[in-house]
Amino acid sequence: MMRDREKERDPDDLVEPVAPVIVIGPKNTSVVAGREATLECIANARPVERLVLSWKRNGRRLASGVGVFGRRLTLSSPSLSDGGVYVCEASIINSTTRPTEARAHLSVLEPPYFTAEPKLKTVAAVDKNVDLHCQAKGVPPARLEWYKDAVPVSKLANPRYKVTSATGLTVRRVQPGDAGMFQCFARNAAGDTQTHTQLVVTSVAPSFSLLPSDLTVTDGNSAVFSCETTGSPKPAVSWRRGSQLLASGTVQIPRFTLLESGGLLVEPIRMHDSGDYTCTAASADGSINATATLTVWTRTFISVPPVDQRVIKGTTATLDCNATHDPRVNISFQWQRGAVPLQPSGGRVSILSGSLTISQTWSGDIGDYTCTVTSQAGNQSRSARLEVIELPHSPRSLSVSLNDSDSRSVLLSWVRPFDGNSPLLHYILELSENNSPWKMYMSEVEPAVTRVTVGGLTPARTYQFRLCAVNQVGRGQYSGETQ
């Protein structure tokens, strides 16, 4: 009975449930963090009494903030982490019908706020670069805009003003006209904010950060005087010797170059460049100067170079070497034979004020000798060749043979001897008849010849021959005598 009555009281129970329909789904919503956000969901179903609306986020059912019949979801003070997809689910209790869903995206916005701000007052010296810091965050990301004295910097189109997201506004080579109020605005969909700085432009009087120092240079080399300055605006540097202007921003005379650093390059140096050099640094705030001295040494050079020598074996060879040099520098001499340095050992080799003396010369002394003068004002080397010559050796293997066709003539031949390091001039051929004293027979036998025919001999006599070679040094030993 009870059952029947209940059924009469609640006729919907008898109705087959109809799947829920979401009539008005939640809408994509943007809200500023901290402000209240509401999502709405209206659904229909049969039986309507068994319709249940619930809210889910990330697959989890939400309990708090759900209003009457689940139609509203209220987030009283959403934070950034509350942003995301919210799902409204309509279902019928104790039914097998599938629930219906609708979803909406909640965007939680954050108004811009500064993470870096300039000081209220920024002081910059003329010609320096200055960074006006301004960085902001926000959701969505903040856009920055700079104003100078209420005019957008983008409209000023000043090539020295550069806005970067990493720092803010950079003003390069600050000029007096850059002074003023710089404002940085940060804006996004959730709002805007601003910060500002007063740019004050100052100047700094010139001063030296690196003074020129005295230099000593060899004639023909180059010299660089340093002169580094600080100051804003950058001081104008000029160089003078006495009253003569050598180099400045506008003046440039040959051999004198004003360097980017403020230094002075003199190239090449001449003897008459000796003197005092003054670097002057000037700006509207003042002028300073500094002076340094240039000393120029004459270049050391070999004035008396060694000359090729040819000496007779056993005699003394002298290779001269002398140098001209600045009286203020010391010089020293070194000698080498080939690549081997010579050490005067107190023996046959001695070096006296540059000149090299070798006594008791022999063929082992032959070679190229180099004199090197070393000094602070330059080094120089000169070479010469030493030849040691001696008498030619005796012609060897002198032999004689009869002429087959002419019995009154013989053929003499010999082997060319060592020439004593000096070309042979000729041979002398001598003859002895029947053991009489030796007589000159031929006095000028060509040095290239190694055989001669001797004719017109008298039969039945004995003849002996001998031969010697002659070079620049003299006549060498005789050969053996023929039989």
What does the per-residue mask of binding to ligand NAG show for 118-157, with x meaning CB under 6 A?
----------------------------------------
Told to check if 329 binds ligand NAG by CB under 6 A, we report yes
Residue 336 as a binder of ligand NAG (CB under 6 A): the answer is no
Establish if 332 lies at the interface with ligand NAG (CB under 6 A).
no
| Contact (Cβ atoms closer than 8 angstroms) between residue 41 and residue 17 | no
CA gap 399, 83 in Å, rounded? 126
Q: Map residues 81-100 to x or -, x wherever contact with ligand NAG holds by CB under 6 A.
A: ------------xx------
Handedness of CA 446, 450, 455, 457 (dihedral sign): positive
Rounded to whole angstroms, the Cα distance separating 82 from 71 reads: 19
CB of 61 to ligand NAG, least distance (A): 18
- Paired residues of 194 in beta bridges: 185
Residue 289 makes contact with ligand NAG by CB under 6 A? yes
Contact flags string 17-36 toward ligand NAG, x per CB under 6 A: -----------x--------
Q: Return the closest-CA partner of residue 387 out of 354, 426, 422, 359.
A: 422
Q: Give dist(CA 483, CA 475) in Å, integer.
A: 23
Q: Which residues within the stretch 206-225 sit at the binding site for ligand NAG (CB under 6 A)?
A: none
Round to whole Å and give the CA distance between 386 and 395.
26
Write phi, then psi, for 336 (nearest 5 degrees).
-135, 145
Candidate segments 122-130, 223-231, 359-367, 371-379, binder of ligand NAG by CB under 6 A: 371-379
423 binds ligand NAG (CB under 6 A): no
Please state the closest distance from residue 429 (CB atom) to ligand NAG, in A: 15
**461, 433 in Cβ contact below 8 A?**
yes
Maximum CA extent, the chain: 189
Output 6 or 481, the one with its CB closest to ligand NAG.
6
- Told to check if 280 binds ligand NAG by CB under 6 A, we report yes
The answer to whether 455 contacts ligand NAG (rule: CB under 6 A) is yes
Check binding of 330 to ligand NAG (CB under 6 A). Answer: yes
Spell out, one character per residue from 375 to 414, where the chain touches ligand NAG: x when CB under 6 A holds, - when not.
---xx-----------------------x-xx--x-x---
Q: Could you tell me which of 273, 300, 316, 311 has the C-alpha nearest to residue 421?
A: 311
Which among 112, 107, 53 has a CA at the least distance from the CA of 75?
Answer: 107
Give, as ranges, the residues between 435 and 454 that touch ligand NAG (CB under 6 A): 453
What is the C-alpha separation between 400 and 483, in angstroms, rounded?
Answer: 8
* Contact pattern for ligand NAG over residues 100 through 119, marking x by CB under 6 A: -----x--------------
313 neighbors 389 (Cβ within 8 angstroms)? yes
Q: Of all helices (H) and strands (E), which one includes residue 196?
A: strand 191-202
Q: How far is the CB of 186 from ligand NAG (least distance, A)?
A: 24
Give me the amino acid identity at 453: T
Residue 278 in contact with ligand NAG, rule: CB under 6 A: yes
Contact 74, 37 (CB under 8 A): yes
List interacting residues with ligand NAG (CB under 6 A): 28, 50, 93-94, 105, 278, 280, 289, 303, 322, 324, 329-330, 353, 374, 378-379, 403, 405-406, 409, 411, 453, 455
